[in-house]
Amino acid sequence: MDATSRTPVFCTIVPPHILDKLARGADPDLADRARRTLERDALQRTRRRITTVRAAAPPAARTAPEDATPERTVYDARGTQDLPGTEVRGEGAEPVEDATVNRAYDGLGATFDLFLSGFARDSVDGAGLPLNATVHYGEDYGNAFWDGEQMVFGDGDGEVFLDFTRSLDVIGHELTHGVTQYTANLEYFGQSGALNESVSDVFGSLVKQYVQGQAATDADWLIGADLLAPGVSGTALRSMKAPGTAYDDDVLGRDPQPATMADYVHTSADNGGVHINSGIPNHAFYLLATDLGGNAWEAAGRIWYDVLTAGGLPTDADFAAFAAATVTAAEARYGDGDERAAVLGAWSKVGVPTDAEATVPRQTPAPEGAPPPAG
């Protein structure tokens, strides 16, 4: 696909393999809720394929003025699947009684602020795109997603997943899918899809660190740490610090993410394992950020952002191509110094070459409902 012709993809925060596990579990109520979430996700995915019109080119990004402000609108679906729903809070309006609405509003603003302050980017598209979000989507809907145009949050079922506005990094993650859509436009399949997911995890974590004023060495590097209900054996959906350790639960199963290429998961499910193998570039970024120290949205985040926006990354880039691009970006911004050495070291530790020569064969996505990898 040409880089100037971009079809928005439907991206969810909860991986299909988790919902598949729940849908096949012994608890009939949890299984029913998981199946309904999967069905809604499949419906939304189909709608994107049917209704999306490819734009001839993305809007021209501009250097944002320092006083740029977001344009946020939060809607309430009131338990339906009708989007966007009823407007309940617009830009500049006072907080409402519904905490979910206020968390969504604040999360949109926090993500806008990181990209503005850290990267001089004016909203998701770099050209002031209004930020819209819908809360209370569906009944017991166990997910949150970016549909190419807006954010949507479910309330969770209260037994496995809590309200999806609770995790600031989830909001940042999903909105970053929009940033990728308007920049590198990474195809949502195989290694390029895993990079798409990883970039969202990276900037989702950076949004949380930015708001909390945390240095890289102080951050938890967890994605979705506030989503799991009490009683679930786990800390989050994913761990960038230690992929494969986020959860180990009788109901959810065990976190299947690898931290290095030695454990790369070959699967046709989940568009070639986009939510699974993203653990590898996630871990590389964690290693880089903690090696450099300080605020991760500065040097490390700057290198990743430069790769997204430079314009030379293939839309079907594999890990090696992305790694090579980060070396080039580090050299361009910082020269042949500590930053470049740290980038090389991070990719080496996860087993990804930086010469863009080694690749993993591409795979064919499995049909909807295909079983996930074991684990």
Catalytic residue set: 174, 275
142 with 13: CB under 8 angstroms?
Answer: no
Question: In DSSP terms, which residues pair with 222 in a beta bridge?
Answer: 239
Dihedral class, residue 138 (left if φ above 0, else alpha if ψ from -120 to 50, else beta): left
31-54 burial: b if 16+ Cβ within 10 Å, else e: eebbbbbbebbeebbeebeeebee
338 with 292: CB under 8 angstroms?
Answer: yes
Question: In DSSP terms, which residues pair with 134 in a beta bridge?
Answer: 75, 152
Secondary element (H or E) of residue 371:
none
Dihedral class, residue 50 (left if φ above 0, else alpha if ψ from -120 to 50, else beta): alpha
Q: What is the DSSP string of 284-348?
A: HHHHHHHHH-S-TTTHHHHHHHHHHHSS-S-TT--HHHHHHHHHHHHHHHH-SSHHHHHHHHHHH
Which residues, 6+ apart, have CB-to-CB distance to 201 below 8 Å?
169, 173, 223, 238, 240, 278, 282
Tokens 């040409």 -> residue? 2
Question: In DSSP terms, which residues pair with 40 in a beta bridge?
Answer: none
